[in-house]
Amino acid sequence: SYVLTQPPSVSVAPGQTARISCGGDNVGSKNVHWYQQKPGQAPAVVIYYDGDRPSGIPERFSGSNSGHTATLTISRVEAGDEADYYCQVWDGNSGHRVFGGGTKLIVL
């Protein structure tokens, strides 16, 4: 089955840029979606189709996807961005929807 690999945690100071990676075999050929989950809440999409933002998501959130790695970039990080972030794809070979293991963003 298809596997997406994320770092367990990423630490960044306020105002800096956070980059969260999502690795998978030729993931660049798939559409990657990113979710933010705060404690006690359901996840919410912050990036879909590699780099599109839903309405209401700040422009500080962006995404890219190429080769074997997709990346969620959060510019000018704020304390309120501290959360768990998950990448997700649809694997056409299996017909399954797959999540990465999640990355905890720590704002120092």
- Residues of this chain that interact with another protein (CB under 8 A) are 1, 31, 33, 35, 42-45, 48-49, 54, 86, 88-90, 94-102
Residue 45 CB, nearest approach to another protein (Å)? 6
**Helices within 1-108 (DSSP H only):** none
Residue 89 CB, nearest approach to another protein (Å)? 8
CB-wise, 15 or 92, nearer to another protein?
A: 92
Q: Which residues contact 76 (CB under 8 A, 6 or more apart)?
A: 15, 16, 17, 60
User: Helix and strand tally (H, E) in the chain?
Assistant: 0, 9
Find residue 34's DSSP bridge partners.
47, 87
CB-wise, 48 or 69, nearer to another protein?
A: 48
Residue 70 CB, nearest approach to another protein (Å)? 13
